Structure 1
Amino acid sequence: MDAEEANAFQQKLNQWIANQGFWFQLRHSLSGGGNWSNTLYHLFGLAVRLVIALVVLVLVVGYFIVKRVDTEGFEEGLEASMAKYFQAEKVDVSVFSKSGGEASIHRVGGVGTSNSFFRSFEIKNLRFKMKLLDGVAGVWNLGTLDANSLDLEVRSGLSSQDEVEAAEKELFGLPAKIELGGLRSASTNISWGYYQRAFGNIANSQMTATRSAEGWRCVFKGGTFTQNWIRECPIEEMVVSISPKGVTIERGVLFVGDGRIEFQAVMVQGAELPAPSGTLKFVNVPVEKLLPRNARSYLAGSISGALTLGGSTNSSGGITLDGTLSIEEGDQLAIRDDFRVFEALSVADYYRTYKRVVFQTGRFHLSTGGGKLSVEGIDLQAENLMTVSGEFSVRRPTDDEIKERSFGTEPGMAVGANGFGRDFSSEGSSEGFSLKNAGKVSQEEEEPETKRVEGENTEFYDELAMVRKLREEDMNRALNLYFFDGKVDLIVAADAFERSAALKERFPVDPETQRTVIPVELKGGLSEIGVDLADEILDSIR
């Protein structure tokens, strides 16, 4: 065989070997079936093809990983995973996007079940860390979540040990292969309380929540705090620790006008009937801030003291307060003549005016619970003008009384356990709400950067906003209607009724104190107090 034929044969052999696949070529080269130059040639060719194959594979996988977040299936997978972990009735994820190493969700919300620690939640413009392989391989470190706003309705109590364990898992655990540092929310609204008399909330507050060894540590700045008779008090700062043992307010200061309310050793423990303990210290707190809006024209000034917390957020009695309040340095109380009886006294008493009676000293014992506020041991002195003593109670109206006063829907009936499943048709319900005007409610709540975007589940969030609003209105509807029951004595100067013999006979001077005692029955609504007595006094001097 000459050289030309040998070369032709070798080329055909090489071609045949090349067609036999990678492993045959490798074995042939390593077995000495070819010389070293041929071996290197084959290995180089194999390496080139292997690199090309790997590049193609990486491009395909990379394309899949990058584009998976843009698919409907990705959002649906997130919804299913969150609903399963939080044991929610429904979770919606609207408009997920990713850019660089960060991801965002325009809106995410959910409705809880009996096994959830929440009744509903909604987060707007949620942002977090997301690397290329997060959610595919390894541990996904979300870092600290950032949100424009958070709305959370917390369940106030749990009815079984299974529910307790489920709630603890949701609050203090994390899904597998997930790491989370905390949550920051620029505008936070958190509400609690199953019954009207236990309802409370933190509204429009900036919150920073970080994970601690035992659970969570939340810091609230700004916004307002509401609980019982303490309503919409501006928050300076509240530091709250949450663990399986309960909730502890490490520090809490509310600004109330020129005064403040301090939380001292306040804790909430227990699962089925969460029981608060601790003390609220009042320092020069304006009384009008503790009164319903329609009562603020009657009473002014400030008060100090300490009230002990008790009761439960999940009982019909609600959270209770008990303690003594007094007029301390920097305090005074003033009763205005919006009370008809004070106006009548100003007309009857030739020497004095009762248009605004200012009390410089005094005290009383205050307790709340079961929707009622009791004031006992009243002892208030306005120098020589007047002394007030006695006791009375103030209660919220019953459901029938609310209906009689035309407040609209029956109390407790505006929303159900979670508010969903109601007939919120476009024509509207008996509450005067519909999905059409619910959309207006939802849009009114939104900041410019959280306006609706294409792909958002608007119907779900409209209904979520409507249910929250209905529930809040249902809780607040009776707050401006109170009924009084009790008696106080207005003790004035002996010559107060010198102009009227009839009044002097009706209200004789006490021989021991040489003062005139005027008993005043407190019955009915605020505007009804002392009206009959005022008419009697005015008729006697005409």
Structure 2
Amino acid sequence: MEVDQTQSFNQKLSQWIASQGFWFQLRHSMSGGGGWAMTLSHLLRLGFKVLIALLVAAGGFGVYLVKRVDAESFAESLDASVKTSLGAKDAKLLGFSRIQGDAQITRFGAEGGDESFFRSVDAGNVRFKMDLLDGIAGDWDAGTLIAKWMELDLKAGADTPDAAARIGESLFREWPKFQFSSVEVDDATLSWGYHSPLPQNRIDTRGRIEHSRMAATRSGGGWRLVFSGGKFSQNWLQGLEIEKLVMEVMPGSLVVKEGNFRCGTGTVTFHDVSVTGGDKPAFHGKVEISRVEIAQLLPKALEPFLEGVLSGNFALSGSTNAAGGIQLEGDVTLGGDSVVSVRERLHLLKSLSVVDVYNSYRKIDFNRGSFHLKSSGGVLELSRVDLKADELMTLQGRLKVRPPSEKEMAGAVGENPGNSFAPIFQAGTPAGSNEAGDDISLRKAAGEPKVTQQGKEMEIFNRRAQVKSEEQFKMDAIARESQMLRYEGDFRITIPGDAFERVEVLRSTFPADASTGRIPIDVPIQGTIYEVTRRQAEELLEIGTKH
């Protein structure tokens, strides 16, 4: 009976002690109450409880680490952090997730602020390394930032040197808590410069790298950029196929280490090209053109009139943030593979073919001579022109090609059709073909609804889509207006002395030069490409056919 009572008492005592909490049980065990066996038993039970508590806590923390990227607060914090780090006006990351040790972003967009080096950036399918504790403890080493595609619109310069310095700092800034060594993009499009349509201040400094594979690596406090594939455009060098373009960007400068391009069957090579930073970035260097077809450089409006192959070396100068824009200047020498051919579509050549029964002017192949070319501020100038097409024709003089004035535009179409004008050289610009532009105009007039994704999180991307739509509309307008470029200049041609042998009045009106035996004809140039030489052609035909 006493044994049963003792066991019952001890059992109730053990239950009571177990209900008193961890520290009371530990003190009771250490004081010897209940003996070493009971102490060990209590310790084992307590250890097991502590282990379970730790496992539950660890599991909960692990779930938090995994699920935190899905929380709305995490996304908002990330947007704010990226916005501050880039100096952007707005920034948004969509579809952030962590999969098998990699952070993945469905789409990322940002609008540049006063101190950012870009106007806008839009990228898709971005991924980089992300450990469980990254963003919570320690430094985050993201390794290589990899994107499927990216569109980056770079600033052309700044209003003041101080603003330019702040913009430069944002390009080379490093973040102690977030580190990455390089950026790789499968399909990168970069644009820079701008186009001013104002008649008193026409500037065309636009340039682009389109759909190229890009690898950007941190190097010596700067960046090393490598592009392969895709297209490069700047001024009248349009749609060059990138074989390899290597640039080193350091604080205060950009140096092209290698620039090799293809243009149709010819090549274009950059030599010692560099850009000095500042509020007005200054370009220096040389561009070598070898066996490039003129059709690759000229607007489509000129294709019926000109063909041939050019080679030459051109000096590169100017700035993306100056009235003159990027300037190309150099001499072109004809001979060998370099030939410029003028077709009979030119009015004067048609008339000569009618009145000259001995010679054909269907196509004039200028295969000897040279001229000086300068492209700046949206204007092309040819000077010191001295060309020869065997014994058929010689050509001397000068030519200037410019966008039309507001008055000329209004006179051409009855009203001002817009404020955008074509670059002098822009390959692929159709003449008289405005189907795309008309289509856009009609759709806008009809009030076609915009195809945009709704929701506050899409606002930044919808704004970017609207800007791109406006840019495309402007480019379509430029394509329609390219045929309205104005040509001004003075030329003198000479033709064989027997050209007017059968028309006495033409022989007396255009006598042969006694020293050369050739007939000189002065040819003033004025108007659009469709008006050039029309007056001289009509005069020649009127005299020749009347008599």
If the TM-score is normalised by the length of the shorter chain, which range does it land in?
A: 0.7 to 0.9
Asked if the contact 1:88–1:112 (Cα under 8 Å) also holds between the matched residues in 2, the reply is yes
Where does 1:152-231 land on structure 2 (aligned, <5 Å)? 152-195=152-195, 196-231=203-238
CA contact (8 A) 1:268 1:274 kept: yes
- d(CA) in 1 for partners of 2:273, 2:27: 77
User: In the alignment, is the contact (CA less than 8 A) between 1:116 and 1:163 conserved in 2?
Assistant: no
In structure 2, C-alpha distance between the alignment counterparts of 1:142 and 1:100, rounded to whole Å: 14
In the other structure, the counterpart of 1:112 is 112
- The aligned counterpart of 2:137 is 137
Q: Could you list the per-position Cα deviations for residues 68-100 of structure 1 after superposition, in whole angstroms to 9, with x for gaps in the alignment?
A: 222333322222111111121221222223322
1:21 positional shift? 3.0
1:256 Cα shift? Answer: 0.9
C-alpha displacement at 1:263, in angstroms? 0.6
Instruction: Return the alpha-carbon distance in structure 1 between the equivalents of residues 447 and 114 of structure 2.
Output: 26
Partner of 1:447: none
Aligned to 1:39: 39
Deviation at 1:194, TM superposition (A): 2.7
**Cα gap change, 1:346/1:376 in structure 2, threshold over 3 Å: closer, same or farther?**
same
| TM-score after normalising by structure 1 | 0.88
- Contact 1:403–1:409 (CA<8 Å) still a contact in 2? no
Q: Deviations over 1:220-269 (max 9, x none)?
A: 11211111111112211111222212222111112111111101111111
Deviation at 1:40, TM superposition (A): 2.2
Instruction: Tell whether the 8 Å contact from 1:303 to 1:328 is kept in structure 2 after alignment.
Output: no
Aligned to 1:516: 519
Say which is worse superposed, 90-99 or 507-516, in terms of deviation.
90-99
Aligned-partner Cα distance in 2 for 1:496–1:526: 26
1:410 alignment partner, one of 415, 419, 435:
419
Q: 1:199·1:475 contact (CA, 8 Å) conserved in 2? A: no
Q: Which of 307, 318, 327 is matched with 1:320 structurally? A: 327
Whole-Å separation in 1 of the counterparts to 2:529 and 2:57: 79
The aligned counterpart of 1:425 is none
Uncovered stretches (5+) of structure 2, i.e. residues with no partner? 196-202, 422-439
The one-character-per-residue Cα deviations of 1:248-305 (angstroms, maximum 9, x if unpaired) are 2111112111111101111111220011100001111112222112112211111111
Change (3 A) 1:381 1:101: same
Measured after TM superposition, the shift of residue 435 of structure 1 is 9.6
Tell which deviates more after alignment, 364-373 or 399-408. 399-408
Alignment of 1:454-533 (within 5 A): 457-458=457-458, 460-471=460-471, 473-474=473-474, 477-478=477-478, 480=482, 481-533=484-536
Per-residue deviation, 1:437? 5.3
Question: How many pairs align?
Answer: 515
Judging changes above 3 Å, is the alpha-carbon distance between structure 1 residues 46 and 384 closer, same or farther for their aligned structure 2 residues? Answer: same
* Residues 329-340 of structure 1: pairs in structure 2 closer than 5 A: 329-340=336-347
The alignment status of 1:284 with 2:291, answered yes or no, reads yes
Runs of 4+ aligned residues of structure 1 deviating over 6 Å after TM superposition are 428-431
Structure 2 residue aligned with 1:51: 51
> Cα 1:49–1:305, aligned 2, differ >3 Å: closer, same or farther?
same
Q: For structure 1, which runs of at least 5 residues remain unmatched after alignment?
A: 413-427, 443-451
Paired residue type of 1:320: Q
Q: CA offset at residue 524 of structure 1?
A: 1.6
- Matched-pair contact (CA < 8 Å) for 2:163–2:279: no
Deviation at 1:29, TM superposition (A): 3.7
Query: Equivalents in 2 of 1:111, 1:56: separation in Å?
Result: 44
Query: 1:373 aligned to 2:385?
Result: no
SS in 2 for 1:494: coil
AA partner of residue 519 (structure 2): T
- Assess if the C-alpha contact under 8 Å between 1:80 and 1:91 holds in 2: yes
The 2-side partners of 1:404 and 1:52 are apart by 88
- Name the CA shift for 1:409/1:378 in 2 (closer, same or farther; >3 Å): closer
Q: CA separation in 2, counterparts of 1:433 and 1:467?
A: 18
Whole-Å Cα distance in 1 between the matches of residues 115 and 516 of structure 2?
64
Cα 1:509–1:434 change in 2 (3 A) is same
Correspondences of 1:22-33 after superposition (within 5 Å): 22-33=22-33
